[in-house]
């Protein structure tokens, strides 16, 4: 299990975290939203011995949008991220599939239209997933051509896709596409992590490790018991915390090393 961290989005903070965590963490996940500003810092981190992964941009991107122009604009930006990640020397790019434009309908008992609206929302969801499948087929092929691994992440909110193991498994039909399990997102969606592991098998290759209260995406430090089910897998494991201080990452590594989940001297094999 290779251990990585999410850095601050400014070059100075990025490198400060990289220096402080060297020898404990093996890779850094570069945020696509800040990638141009972080390019040189990322190269310095590689010279230190870090590997790089890359999180594609996701705000206002809708790869499964029913509007062709929106879908094409989203695809253009995701292609740019793949190309930038390849130039940066990243090994893996993680991406989101977006969300539906509408899930706001009255709850049961409040409106006689509830069931009809729920059925309509289900149809919109299926259609969104079908379009996203087509987009990710092209992206996965491009990633393969660029020498990258592309992973698709599970999302937490009801309007977002994919949210469940069953929805993630629909994308197994896409050649070259692999998967990222975000443990905090699964917790918010009421889904068991083991179910994703069973549904996706060996194509689950990347983890985002954090936890929350089940309602809000708090990105609290993960506990060793949260990660034990994945100890025997070849997954890269990103500890995904906000930039509250490097001490949190040091404490997480210490807890995982004490539990025997990662070596003391290095957060995994580089």
N-term to C-term CA, the chain: 10
Above pLDDT 90, what percent of the chain?
A: 86
The CA distance from 87 to 55, in Å, is 14
Contact present, 111 and 46 (Cβ < 8 Å): no
Q: How many CB atoms lie within 10 A of CB 15?
A: 19
User: Residue 116's pLDDT is what?
Assistant: 83
Cα→Cα distances 79→5, 141, 142, 146, Å: 24, 11, 8, 11
Q: Is the pLDDT of residue 6 over 80?
A: yes
Question: What number is the average pLDDT over the span 100-109?
Answer: 73
Which tokens in the block code for residue 90?
């990243």
Mean residue pLDDT across the chain: 94
The CA distance from 56 to 120, in Å, is 30
Question: What number is the average pLDDT over the span 222-250?
Answer: 95
Residue 266 lies in a domain: no
Q: Is the pLDDT of residue 18 over 80?
A: yes
User: Residue 270's pLDDT is what?
Assistant: 34
pLDDT: is 121 or 109 the higher one? 121
Q: pLDDT tens digits for 181-195? A: 999 999 999 999 999
DSSP labels, 186-238 = HHHTT--HHHHHHHHGGGEEEEEE-B--SSS---BPP-HHHHGGGTTS--EEE
CB neighbour list of residue 225: distance below 8 Å, 6 or more residues apart: none
Segment among 19-23, 107-111, 265-269 with least mean pLDDT = 265-269
Question: What number is the average pLDDT over the span 40-62?
Answer: 98
Question: What number is the average pLDDT over the span 14-32?
Answer: 98
Segment among 43-57, 85-99, 127-141, 227-241 with least mean pLDDT = 227-241
Alpha-carbon torsion, ordered 206, 208, 214, 220, to 10 deg: 160
Residue 256 lies in a domain: no
Question: What number is the average pLDDT over the span 59-74?
Answer: 97
The CA distance from 153 to 176, in Å, is 15
| Residue 31 banded pLDDT, cuts 50, 70, 90 | very high
- The whole domain housing 194 covers 2-250
Give the number of domains in the chain: 1
User: Residue 51's pLDDT is what?
Assistant: 99
| Residue 263 banded pLDDT, cuts 50, 70, 90 | confident
Write the Ramachandran bin of 23: left for phi over 0, alpha for psi from -120 to 50, otherwise beta.
left
Of 138, 75, 67, give the one whose Cα is nearest residue 102.
Answer: 67
Residue 261 lies in a domain: no
| Residue 268 banded pLDDT, cuts 50, 70, 90 | very low
Contact present, 182 and 226 (Cβ < 8 Å): no
Residue 183 lies in a domain: yes
100 pairs with which residues across the strands?
A: none
Can you tell me whether residue 71 is helix, strand or coil?
helix
Q: Is the pLDDT of residue 250 over 50?
A: yes
Which tokens in the block code for residue 74?
């989203």
Residue 210 lies in a domain: yes
Question: What number is the average pLDDT over the span 27-39?
Answer: 98
Of 41, 138, 136, 32, give the one whose Cα is nearest residue 86.
Answer: 32
Which tokens in the block code for residue 164?
């469940």
The CA distance from 99 to 154, in Å, is 11
Give the position of tokens 């709850």: 107
Residue 59 lies in a domain: yes
Residue 38 lies in a domain: yes
Above pLDDT 70, what percent of the chain?
A: 96
Contact present, 183 and 210 (Cβ < 8 Å): yes
User: What CATH number is associated with residue 92?
Assistant: 3.20.20.150
Residue 259 lies in a domain: no
pTM above threshold 0.85 = yes
Q: Is the pLDDT of residue 144 over 60?
A: yes
């Amino acid at each position: 299990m290779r251990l990585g961290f999410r850095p601050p989005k400014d070059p100075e903070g990025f490198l400060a975290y990289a220096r402080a965590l060297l020898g404990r963490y093996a890779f850094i996940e570069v945020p696509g939203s800040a990638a141009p500003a972080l390019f040189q810092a990322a190269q310095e981190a590689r010279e230190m011995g870090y590997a790089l992964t890359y999180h594609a941009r996701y705000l206002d991107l809708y790869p499964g949008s029913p509007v062709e122009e929106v879908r094409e604009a989203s695809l253009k930006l995701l292609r740019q991220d793949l190309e930038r990640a390849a130039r940066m020397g990243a090994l893996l790019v993680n991406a989101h599939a977006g969300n539906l434009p509408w899930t706001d309908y009255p709850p049961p008992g409040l409106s006689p239209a509830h069931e009809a609206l729920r059925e309509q929302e289900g149809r919109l969801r299926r259609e969104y997933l079908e379009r996203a499948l087509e987009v990710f087929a092209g992206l996965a092929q491009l990633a393969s051509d660029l020498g990258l691994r592309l992973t698709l992440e599970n999302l937490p909110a009801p309007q977002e896709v994919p949210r469940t193991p069953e929805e993630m498994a629909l994308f197994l039909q896409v050649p070259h596409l692999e998967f990222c399990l975000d443990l905090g997102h699964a917790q918010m969606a009421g889904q068991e992590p083991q179910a994703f592991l069973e549904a996706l098998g060996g194509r689950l290759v990347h983890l985002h490790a954090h936890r929350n209260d089940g309602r809000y995406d708090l990105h609290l430090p993960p506990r060793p018991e949260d990660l034990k089910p994945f100890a025997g897998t070849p997954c890269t494991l990103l500890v995904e915390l906000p930039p509250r201080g490097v001490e949190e990452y040091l404490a997480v590594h210490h807890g995982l090393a004490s539990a025997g989940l990662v070596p003391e001297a290095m957060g995994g094999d580089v």
